[in-house]
Structure 1
Amino acid sequence: MTTLLLVRHGLTDLTGSVLAGWTPGVSLSERGRTQVEELAGRLRDLPLDAIVSSPLERCRETAEAVARGRDLRVAVDERFGEVGYGEWTGQRLEDLAKEPLWRVVQTHPSAAAFPGGESLAAMQHRAVAAVRDWNARLGEKAVYLVCSHGDVIKAIVADALGLHLDQFQRITADPASLTVIRYTPLRPFVIRMNDVGGEMRNILPSESTNGGSVDQDGGGNITESDAAVGGGAGTT
C-alpha cells in the first residue's frame, strides 16, 4: 500500500480574491507561513519517503517547511503545478464569475478549457499520471507528500473516489489542508480529506464558504453554491 499525503499550499495575499495561477513570485502571506508551520508541526513525527512539490513558489515554501529537519530534499514535479488558467490568470474572481465559462467550470468542468491555457480534463490527466508514476517509483510501502494546488488536489481526489470530473467541484481543499489517499492493488482509499487540524470552526458556514442555494437568475455573481475556482481561501 502506497500512502499519499496531499497538501495544499498556505494562504497568499491573492488567495480567494484573485486567480493567481502561474503568476510568478506569489509567496505565502504571514498567515500562510503560520499555517504551514502548524502543519509541519503536526507532521513532524511522521516518516516520509519523499516530498514532492509544484514548481510554484507558494508550494515550494510549504513543502520546504515540512522538509525542515528531515534528511530529504524537496523534489519538483511540474505535473503537480497549478491549472494553466491562461487569460484568466491574475484576474479577480468576482470579474471571472461574469464570464460564460464560469458556469461551465461550475457545472460541467470536464468540458472547461481556459482561453490560452489548458483544460481541467488535461490537468487531471497529468496530475493523476504523476501520482501513479511516483507510486511506482517509491513502492508499495512508501509514505510520501505532494504539495500542490486546490483544483489539482480536488481532481486527484475525484479520481481516487471514482468520481467523474464533473463531480470534482463537490470536493474542498482549503489552504494548508491535508488529504490522505492510500493506494492498494485493487482500489484507492481516501483516509482523510481537507484536514486543517483540531478546530471545528471550518464546519460552519461563513461569508467565504461556498455551499448553499443556487443563483437562479444567472446574474453573474459568485453564489453560495459556486465552487471556489482555484481553491479559495478556506474558512479558517
Structure 2
Amino acid sequence: MKHFYLLRHTEFENPDNIFRGRLGLALSKEGKDHARRIGAWFKDKHISKIYSSAVERCKATAEIVAQSIDVPVVFDKRLLEVMHAIQGMNLIEYRKDRNKRYSLVDTLGGESMMDVQVRMLDFFYEAVKRDEGNSIICSHGDGLYFLYLALVGKNLPEKVGTIDRSEYQEKGTVRRIDVEGDQITVGSIEKL
C-alpha cells in the first residue's frame, strides 16, 4: 500500500488584501513555523518525494517540509492555483459576489471547476501509476477539494457559495489517500 498526502500550503502574507490567484505571496512567519511543524509530523511517514505547485506559497511550504524530511520537491503545473480572471481583485469587492470567481470564465477567461478537476485527476492518476513510495502533494484549496470530490464520487458544486466547508482543506491541513491496487481510500482532514 502507498499513501499520498494532500497538503494545502500554509498561511501567507497578503498586505494588500487581494484575491491572490497565482500571484507570488510569501509565507508569513506563522506559515513558515507551521510548515516546520508539518515537516516534523511527516518524519516517520517514509515520504519519497513532494510534488508541488510552483506558486510561491506552495513552493515555500513544500521546500520547508522537504528540508525537514530530506526529500526532493518536484514542481508540476497541474498542481497550480486556479487561473482566475479576478486575480488581484480586492477581497472586499470579491466577497460581494463570490460566485463570480468561476462564473466569469466564459466572458473573461480562466479555468472552470471542471478544468481544474481534470488536471488534478490527470496528475494524481499519473502519480499513482508511476510512484512506488509515499508522496506529498502540496497544492491549493480549490484544486485539492475538486480532486477529493472526484475521488469520493461527489459532484462539483454548482457555485462557490455551495462548497461544503467541512470537506474543504484549510491552510496547513493534510488528507491521506491510501492506494492499494485499484482500491483508493480517502481519509479525513487532519489539522497539524
Contact 1:181 1:192 in 2 (8 A): no
Structure-2 change in CA distance of 1:67 and 1:169 (3 Å) = same
Distance in 2 of aligned mates of 1:79 and 1:189? 22
* Aligned-partner residue type, residue 124 of structure 1: Q
C-alpha distance after superposition, 1:155-187 (max 9, x if no partner): 111111110112782122111111111234444
1:131 match: 124
Which of the pair has more CA radius of gyration? 1
| 1:196 pairs with 2:174 | no
Structure-2 change in CA distance of 1:183 and 1:94 (3 Å) = farther
Contact 1:85 1:116 in 2 (8 A): yes
Q: CA deviation at 1:103?
A: 3.4
- Bigger helix fraction: 2
2:18 match: 18
Distance in 2 of aligned mates of 1:12 and 1:82? 14
Q: 2:139 aligns with which of 148, 167, 173?
A: 148
Distance in 1 of aligned mates of 2:92 and 2:14? 13
Alignment of 1:39-188 (within 5 A): 39-86=38-85, 88-99=86-97, 102-103=98-99, 113=105, 115-139=108-132, 142-166=133-157, 169-170=163-164, 171-188=167-184
Contact 2:8 2:170 in 1 (8 A): yes
Alignment of 1:207-222 (within 5 A): none
Q: CA deviation at 1:57?
A: 1.2
Distance in 2 of aligned mates of 1:180 and 1:92? 34
C-alpha distance after superposition, 1:134-174 (max 9, x if no partner): 111104xx211011001111111111111011278212211
Contact 1:53 1:63 in 2 (8 A): yes
Q: Which runs of 5+ in 2 are unaligned?
A: none
* Aligned-partner residue type, residue 3 of structure 1: H
- Which structure has more relative contact order (CA 8 Å, sep 6+)? It is 2
Q: CA deviation at 1:94?
A: 2.6
**Percent of matched pairs sharing the same residue:** 25
Task: Please report the TM-score for the alignment, with normalisation by the length of structure 1.
Answer: 0.71
C-alpha distance after superposition, 1:37-60 (max 9, x if no partner): 111111122211221110111111
How many pairs does the alignment contain? 185
Distance in 1 of aligned mates of 2:180 and 2:100? 34
C-alpha distance after superposition, 1:102-143 (max 9, x if no partner): 3366xxx7x77372311111011001110111111104xx21
Contact 2:172 2:191 in 1 (8 A): yes
Distance in 2 of aligned mates of 1:40 and 1:70? 6
Task: Please report the TM-score for the alignment, with normalisation by the length of structure 2.
Answer: 0.86
- Bigger strand fraction: 2
Distance in 1 of aligned mates of 2:39 and 2:104? 35
User: For 2:172, what is the secondary structure of its paired residue?
Assistant: coil
